[in-house]
Structure 1
Amino acid sequence: MGCDGGTIPKRHELVKGPKKVEKIDKNAELVARWYYCTLSQEKLKRPIVTCELGRLYNKDAVIEFLLDKSPDKPHADSAAHIKSIKNVIELNLTDNPAWTGDKGNTKGDKYDEQRTQFICPVVGLEMNGKHRFCVLRQCGCVFSERALKEIKTDICHKCGANFKGDDVILLNGDKAEVEELRKKMEERRLRAKMEKKSKKTKPAEIVTASSHTEEVTAGPSGITNGSKTNPRDKISFVSSTESTDPKLSEKTVSSSAAKRSFPITNNQSEAYKSIFTSHSSAKRTKDQSSNWVTHTAYYF
């Protein structure tokens, strides 16, 4: 229909061009990223934590997410890389003395410059998104990037803890910076996984190595690590505990002697040789032997 009654349509009414790209209000984006939790979209309040990608969360929202990881929850993709509470860092923030909270403009009838609750403890810059802020992964202290660049040190300005260059995490960076932090996060987790696996395999290797050395060092005569074991000590408990039953003791000693074979050489003394059944003293007749328990624990 149309073009009746003498109306003349214009070109933009007949030909539809490409849709205009909607521009995002930068101030609204800064407020959403620096004043609200990425996961629950509620206002940030202590305790505040950050992930290894530099996003800000309320700690209770992260705990609820870890307890219930259903994919139907809103904004669950923003915390998919958080596997446990160890993957987040609790922020050690510095309060802003000029922040009055919501009491400054209760009616909302006037424009007031946006104030933030936290500042940099070194240079005093407000943590409102207009300045770049960083967190130290070891201690959780938060500073502006300007403070870390102007005062170059490997010691935290607030708590005095040592840190390295890889421990600095940029808060709310752009896409390229987030991808770089993601690569570092994956490398760090892979390194920790390999170290954990190596710690588990080391005790098993030590046990096998120690057992192998014991087998090698132990000689045929019972010598281990330079000390000689006396076979008499292995047999003495049989004679003391089973002396009441001669038949039982004779069977026990003979079975133990059959299990343990000790070679006899010419270098050994006669007292040592006499404890074995192959010695000539063990071949005496019943009339030649006495009826008491000898050191060889045999009854004849």
Structure 2
Amino acid sequence: MHSLFQDLGLSVFSVCLQSSIGMIFFVAIFKFRYKKEFTKPAMIAAILAVIGVLSSFLHLGNPINAYLTMSNLSSSWLSREIFFTSLYTGLVCAYALILYTGKFTGILTPICALSLLAGIFNLYVMSQAYISTSVPFWDSANTYFEYYLSALMLGAIFFYTLTYKEMSLNFYVFGIVILVLAGMLSLSYVLHGLGLSQGSLAAKQSASILFSYSNLILLISILGAMSIFLFFAQSIRSISDKQRYIALNLPLAATVFLFIAAVLAKLIFYVAMVTTTVGLQ
């Protein structure tokens, strides 16, 4: 299990950044739709981005390594990933800080827009950092699907959980969005695994690595299913008694389960890096 969990810091980094960028996507959409600010999700997005960056140091070791790695922007996708992650984190933290302090509010809209654009491009760079290698499990369009669909799915559930008590959000719409995205992610992984099993020797080895973690994949599926169930269970609660106090926050529990499932899924994504001699470029 050491070979799997030694990349836990990298996994937390990716999922935190995906969740943060996904939240900023929904913050921007609802900001322009309702002409209001969403301070809580913006601040959580900033906190997650910072946690993600800090957790990446567990993988890089000395934080100075991040600066040294970033010095090769012209030819290294990993350098670009570090640069655009830093840019996005700086922008989203500035956005959250302006919302919190109430100062310089005149630049809120451009800062929000820049944060969203930096986040969307950062997801592309993060994906490309792995696609540019020769690791079969990474070198496919599935990597793009994983990064963008996961960001939208996690962003949707985080945003709803943080705002549904303050707004009359239609949880059925969010639930369907989350369910569809989860289904698309699952299907893309299944098709990708089947494709690997029919590919080159290296691809078949990647497939065998994937299938060797079948128990972990089952756990991820169970956590995902529990998340969806808990999310939709709030409709039963609200129909039976809208005013009844319930200690357990079902959307929050659903978010936690889905976040854990995403971290575990990302560990499987990274384990190929451990079992090959090909590194990041």
Scaled to the shorter chain, the TM-score interval is under 0.3
Higher helix share: 2
Higher strand share: 1
The structure with higher relative contact order (CA 8 Å, sep 6+) is 2
Normalising by structure 1, we get a TM-score of 0.20
Normalising by structure 2, we get a TM-score of 0.21
